[in-house]
Every structure is written in structure tokens, then in C-alpha cells.
């Protein structure tokens, strides 16, 4: 099988490619990535010379490039991770989110359609459903996104599903909860807080700290995507959650414990505008139909993640300068 992966230099995409190369020695993977601030070649440095792996630098919105890639590479399936993914950045500048997440997805869908791709796995997010006070969202629930980021992702997943209904393109959508693990850009809460604590800085906790997220270790998500790619049903949506719901203050206290710091390192800051209170997914469908379960216990996943950031300062230290500092100046 030849897989085209978009956004494979990002956090989840790079972990997914590493898993596929290891698990399927006869597969080829072509990674199309724009290589922007979060698309980091260091994420796949270890596989650069692997003959199974090829890299193309480019934008998914570039119709001609995407068309050329489909013509020359002739992929059997596509896994579409490429997206602008940080909520706070989408509040500062929504346009890039509509461009990459919506238009980029449409360009890929059209090329996939013309070239009769065997499978199009679109990676969505729990944020598309919006916030829920009690209970959990099922795949059949309506979408109610609240940020420019989540709205652009909801538009993209609906567009992808429309290509199944209208053109019979073999699309499958996954919607996962908050991922964490190694190689996550330190703007997202877990790597931001871990690296701040390693640097002896405080951690900026938004609002009252009682917003709830369901944490999923990235390898569990990659395994779910692998199952969906090979055994999922076309035209269907699969929720993928970690069964680890914690408030941000609970999460922060755990990180302080792992990094051996006290509560004086917490700095309560102004809340994120439109901050969703709680995300929660009902994942019985993927568990029952594809026999998938999250395997990583939360504390162990946090231990592995904190340990990785402790040992890999070379990876994240350069990222917390330049463009990153400009972004933080705009935010606070
Ligand atoms: O500095 C911070 N302080 C803080 O309290 C940051 C960056 C976040 N937070 C809070 C906001 C959220 O309640 O932590 C929680 C998690 O924040 P993020 O890491 O920004 O993730 P979230 O907004 O929940 O969205 C994430 O999950 C779904 C990803 O960014 C998305 O790409 C994914 O689709």
C-alpha cells in the first residue's frame, strides 16, 4: 500500500507515520507538509533515510502541486492531518484556518476524487461538537463549534462527508479528543506547561481552571487511525477519546507534581474568549465495531511525556524563540 499523508511533520502526523513505517515494512508513505512553524523536520529525523518514506514540501491549497502528486505518486489511500490547529491562534487570525482547513481539504478531496483514491481518512476533532455540560457526544449528534478553529474543522469534516454522499468518495472521518505525547508543539497546554516548569517559569492557567478536557495519548490515537484506515466503514465517523477527563487545574497539579514544583508556579490569567467548558466523546462505536481501546493509563502517559521533554531540550528550546515569542507578545 502507498499512503499519502498530509501534515506528517506535525505532532500527530509524525507519530502516525513512525507507527505505520514500523508496523508495515512493505508500505510506502509520502508525506506532504508545508513545513511551517509546527511542521518540524526534526519530528521525523529518525526516518528521513528510510527507503519506505518520501517527503514533499508543499501547501495542500496548491491545486497544481496536489494534482501532480496524485499523478506521479498514485497513492492508494490518503490520511489528512494537515491543519492549522491552535485555538488561540485562530482567535488572533481566523483567515489562515479557513484557508488551510477548509480550502485545503477541498483541494485534496477533488484530487482524490479525480484519481479515484481507495480511501480518504479525514482527521477531525471533538471540538467540532462544541461544549457539553453533562453526558458525551455521539457521532450522530449535530455539530456546534464555537471557535474559528473548531468551525473550520467542522466545515472540513462536513465537506469530506459530502464527497461520500455526492461523489461516493470513500471518506471516513475520525474525531478525537485532546492528544498529548512527545513532539507536540509547546503552545498546547501540556507541552507549554511542562517546558515552562523545566525553565523555572510559571504556567498561565486560563479563567478559573475548571474547563474539562479528555486526554488521549497520541499513540492510542495513531492506533485508532490505523484501525479506521484498514477496517473502518466508508461514509462513517468514529469518535476517539482517552477516557481521561480532567479539569485544567487537576491537570496542572499533576504536572507540578511530576516536575517537582509547588502551586506558586500557577498564574491565573484572563480567560480565552469563547472558551469551551467541557469536551466529552462517547467512543462506544469504535470500541464495539473496530475493537479499539485506549491503552495508555493517563499518569503513565504524562510521565512518558514529561520525561521526553526533559530529555529533549534540543527539540523544544529553539521552538520557544523567534516566531513563538512574537505570538506570545500578541496574546498577552
Ligand atoms: O496557556 C494555556 N492555558 C490554559 O489554561 C493554554 C494554551 C491552554 N489552556 C487551557 C485551554 C483549554 O481548556 O487548556 C486546555 C487545553 O488547551 P489547548 O492545549 O490549547 O487545547 P484545546 O483548546 O482544548 O484544543 C486542542 O484539542 C483539540 C487542540 O489544540 C486542538 O488542535 C484539538 O483539535
DSSP state, 232?
A: P
- Count of Cβ atoms closer than 10 Å to residue 57 Cβ: 13
Catalytic, 238? Answer no
163 lies in a domain?
yes
Whether 332 is covered by a domain: the verdict is no
Q: How confident is the model at residue 327 (pLDDT cuts 50, 70, 90)?
A: confident
Residue 143's domain comprises 2-182+215-243+277-297
Q: Are 280 and 132 in contact (CB under 8 A)?
A: yes
The atom of ligand 1 lying closest to the CA of 187 is: 7
Catalytic residue among 53, 129, 149, 238: 149
104 in any annotated domain: yes
Q: Is residue 26 part of a domain?
A: yes
Q: Is residue 314 part of a domain?
A: no
pLDDT at residue 225 is higher than 90: yes
Please say if 127 is a catalytic residue.
Answer: yes
Does residue 196 belong to any structural domain of this protein?
A: no
Measuring from each residue's beta carbon to the nearest atom of ligand 1, which residues come in under 6 Å? 85-87, 125, 127, 178, 188-189, 192, 204-206, 211, 213, 248, 272
Whether residue 331 is predicted with pLDDT greater than 90 in this model: the reply is: no
Q: What is the pLDDT of residue 323?
A: 81
Segments of 112-223 assigned E as strands: 119-125, 171-176, 178-180, 203-206, 212-217
Q: What's the mean pLDDT when you consider all of the chain?
A: 97
Query: What's the pLDDT score for residue 330?
Result: 82
* Residue of 145, 193, 206, 251 to test ligand 1 pocket, by largest number of atoms within 8 Å of CB: 206
Find the length of the chain: 332
* Ligand 1 mean position, distance from CA 190 (Å): 8
CATH code, domain with 43: 3.40.50.720
Q: Is the pLDDT reported for residue 322 higher than 90?
A: no
**Total number of domains in the chain:** 1
Assign 48 to helix, strand or coil.
coil
Ligand 1, atom 26: closest residue by C-alpha: 178
The Cα–Cα gap between 216 and 180 comes to: 6
Per-residue model confidence (pLDDT) at position 154: 98
CA of 87 to the centre of ligand 1 (A): 7
The answer to whether the CB of 35 falls within 8 A of the CB of 41 is yes
Q: Is 124 helix (H, G, I), strand (E, B) or coil?
A: strand
Identify whether 256 is part of a domain.
Answer: no
**Nearest-CA neighbor of 256 among 176, 201, 316, 181?**
201
Specify the pLDDT at position 324.
80
At 328, the pLDDT band (50, 70, 90 cuts) reads: confident
| Ligand 1 atom 1: residue of nearest CA | 204
> Is it the case that residue 262 has pLDDT exceeding 90?
yes
Higher pLDDT, 324 or 36: 36
Close Cβ partners of 33 (under 8 Å, ≥ 6 residues apart): 6, 7, 8, 9, 10, 13, 39, 55, 56, 57, 58, 82
Q: What values do phi and psi take at 4, rounded to 5?
A: -100, 125
> Does some domain include residue 302?
no
pLDDT, residue 312, reads 98
> If pLDDT is split at 50, 70 and 90, which confidence band does 55 have?
very high
Amino acid at each position: 500500500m502507498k499512503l499519502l499523508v498530509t501534515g506528517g511533520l506535525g505532532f500527530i502526523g509524525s507519530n502516525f507515520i513512525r507507527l505505520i513505517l514500523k508496523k508495515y515494512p512493505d508500505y510506502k508513505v509520502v508525506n506532504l507538509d508545508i513545513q511551517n512553524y509546527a511542521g518540524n523536520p526534526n519530528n521525523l529525523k529518525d526516518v528521513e533515510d528510510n527507503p519506505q518514506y518520501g517527503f514533499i514540501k508543499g501547501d495542500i491549497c496548491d491545486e497544481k502541486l496536489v494534482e501532480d502528486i496524485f499523478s506521479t505518486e498514485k497513492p492508494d489511500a490518503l490520511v489528512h492531518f494537515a491543519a492549522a490547529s491552535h485555538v488561540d491562534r485562530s482567535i488572533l487570525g481566523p483567515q489562515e484556518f479557513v484557508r488551510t482547513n477548509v480550502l485545503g481539504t477541498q483541494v485534496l478531496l477533488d484530487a482524490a476524487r479525480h484519481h479515484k483514491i481507495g480511501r480518504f481518512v479525514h482527521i477531525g476533532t471533538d471540538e467540532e461538537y462544541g461544549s457539553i455540560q453533562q453526558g458525551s457526544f455521539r457521532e450522530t449528534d449535530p455539530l456546534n463549534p464555537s471557535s474559528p478553529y473548531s468551525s473550520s474543522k467542522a466545515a472540513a469534516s462536513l465537506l469530506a462527508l459530502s464527497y461520500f454522499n455526492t461523489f461516493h468518495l470513500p471518506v471516513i472521518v475520525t474525531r478525537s479528543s485532546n492528544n498529548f505525547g512527545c513532539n507536540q508543539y509547546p503552545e498546547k497546554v501540556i507541552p507549554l506547561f511542562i517546558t515552562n516548569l523545566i525553565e523555572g517559569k510559571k504556567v498561565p492557567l486560563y479563567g478559573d481552571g475548571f474547563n474539562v478536557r479528555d486526554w488521549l495519548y497520541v499513540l492510542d490515537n495513531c492506533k485508532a487511525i490505523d484501525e479506521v484506515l484498514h477496517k473502518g466503514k466508508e461514509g462513517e465517523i468514529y469518535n476517539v477519546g482517552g477516557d481521561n477527563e480532567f479539569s485544567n487545574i487537576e491537570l496542572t497539579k499533576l504536572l507540578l507534581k511530576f516536575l517537582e514544583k509547588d502551586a506558586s508556579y500557577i498564574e491565573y490569567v484572563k480567560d480565552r474568549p469563547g472558551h469551551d467548558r467541557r469536551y466529552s466523546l462517547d467512543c462506544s462505536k469504535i470500541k464495539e465495531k473496530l475493537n479499539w481501546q485506549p491503552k495508555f493509563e493517563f499518569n503513565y502517559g504524562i510521565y512518558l511525556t514529561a520525561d521526553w521533554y526533559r530529555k529533549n531540550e534540543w527539540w523544544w528550546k529553539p521552538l520557544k524563540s523567534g516566531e513563538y515569542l512574537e505570538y506570545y507578545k500578541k496574546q498577552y
